[in-house]
Amino acid sequence: KPEEGQAAVKDEPKSNVVDELELERQTNGKLKELLKAAESERDSWMNKYYGSLADVQNLRKEIERDNQVVLKYAGEPFLKELIPFMQSLDQAFRFEPTSDPKSTAWIKGIHLSYKQLLAALSKQGVSMIEPKVGDKFDPSVMEAFETVEADKPDLVHSVWMKGFKLKDRLVQPAAVVVTVERRQPAPVKPEAPKKDEGEKIEVVETKEENK
């Protein structure tokens, strides 16, 4: 039967087309999976890259900040060595003689040199902490050298030594005497009443000498 043979021949191409489509579908599925895995790996590496880049940038900024701090406070060791000398001069000025005319000239010279030194240090960012009597005690820039009782507490009673700052960093706090609240005197306990022992009569015996 020639018609049946022709139908069989016509069915063969349809079967091949279906197989090819299925193969293509499976291939596309595998390619999609591979592409998805590749994209995931790419994202992972990109995250690692950007994370490492951020770490490097943060480290660079930290190093720059550290270098700026080092440069900003480079004079601190020298200032610490100089402070005792300046405090000694400041203490000496309190007890300078005023009645000796021979000393007046060189004392004025020392004062002038001291002011010039302070001016030079000021250009480098050094400032002096100079509390005044009656100021509120500030523990951030002051150190309580001693305390004294007074009516109003937490006030500067007197200044022992001035302090120093380098820019915004405290190098040496000012040593001050601080007032503290007066302590109330201890209450006096009343004495217990003494027991009544009665009146004691003292008998004085007199001896008459026989003549």
For residue 169, what is the domain's CATH number?
2.30.22.10
Are residues 144 and 88 part of one domain?
Answer: yes
- CA–CA gap between residue 156 and residue 73 (Å, rounded): 29
Same domain, 56 and 144: no
Would you state the pLDDT for residue 20?
A: 73
The answer to whether the CB of 165 falls within 8 A of the CB of 140 is no
- Domain check: are 113 and 168 in the same one? yes
The Cα 205–Cα 207 span in angstroms is: 7
Question: Which residue range(s) make up the domain with 43?
Answer: 13-72
108 and 174 in a single domain? The answer is: yes
**Is residue 82 domain-shared with residue 145, that is, in the same domain?**
yes
pLDDT of residue 127: 95
**Euclidean distance between CA atoms 33 and 44, whole angstroms:** 16
Structure-token pair, residue 166: 């380098």
Q: Within this chain, do residues 90 and 172 fall inside the same structural domain, yes or no?
A: yes
Quote the pLDDT of residue 120.
Answer: 93
Domain tally for the chain?
A: 2
Averaged pLDDT in 10-residue chunks for the chain of 211 residues: 49 64 77 87 88 89 87 89 91 73 78 91 94 96 95 94 94 96 71 56 48 44
Q: Tokens standing for 191?
A: 């004495």
Provide the pLDDT for residue 130. Answer: 95
